[in-house]
Amino acid sequence: MTEPNSSLEIFANPAPERDYTIRMTMPEFSCLCPKTGQPDFATLKLEYVPDERCVELKSLKLYIWSFRSRGAFHEAVANEILRDLVAATQPRFMRILAEFNVRGGIYTSVTVEHRKKDWAGAAPITPP
């Protein structure tokens, strides 16, 4: 049986010579409110430009699952996930948007970013 796991597996970037963006949406993230113990639900949006390594999807799923029984403030969990993913993949750029469902009439959205030193990225292209 598959169990939650806090380890992240990586694999070699198949095109390290070019900048390209990987985007993932994880609509089933949950953790516990550290004050009440009630579940908090969120959609996580991960966007990154890999350098030499990419994150393996099954390990990411199990990593995200490992938060379900942990108490964590929204700001702390978004920063922890970014820190762990950056440590595993060393990307050129990474952004996580954590959009938490309403609680007490308040929606919380936390965006955290990492940019590799000296990486500027390409200028955005607007198709005709």
Q: What's the whole-number average pLDDT of the chain? A: 93
What does the pLDDT read at residue 20? Answer: 94
Q: Return the domain boundaries, the chain.
A: 18-115
User: Model pTM?
Assistant: 0.92
- Among 56, 63, 84, 44, smallest CA distance to 3 is for 63
88: left (phi over 0), alpha (psi -120 to 50) or beta: alpha
| C-alpha to C-alpha distance for 53 and 47, rounded to whole angstroms | 14
> What are the E-state strand segments in the chain?
10-12, 22-32, 39-49, 53-55, 93-103, 106-115
Q: Is the dihedral of CA 83, 87, 92, 96 positive or negative?
A: negative
| C-alpha to C-alpha distance for 76 and 73, rounded to whole angstroms | 5
Q: Which CATH class is domain 18-115?
A: alpha beta
Q: Which of 19, 33, 51, 84 is catalytic?
A: 33
| C-alpha to C-alpha distance for 64 and 26, rounded to whole angstroms | 9
Confidence check: pLDDT of 99 > 90: yes
Per-residue model confidence as pLDDT tens digits over 39-93: 999 999 999 999 999 999 999 999 999 999 999 999 999 999 999 999 999 999 9
Report the pLDDT averaged over residues 7-21: 96
Q: Which of 40, 51, 54, 84 is catalytic?
A: 40
Report the pLDDT averaged over residues 25-38: 94
Residue 33 among the catalytic residues: yes
Confidence check: pLDDT of 1 > 70: no
Could you tell me which residue, 29 or 6, shows the higher pLDDT? 29
| C-alpha to C-alpha distance for 70 and 77, rounded to whole angstroms | 10
- For residue 22, CA distances in Å to 54, 60, 91, 93 come to 9, 14, 11, 10
Confidence check: pLDDT of 122 > 90: no
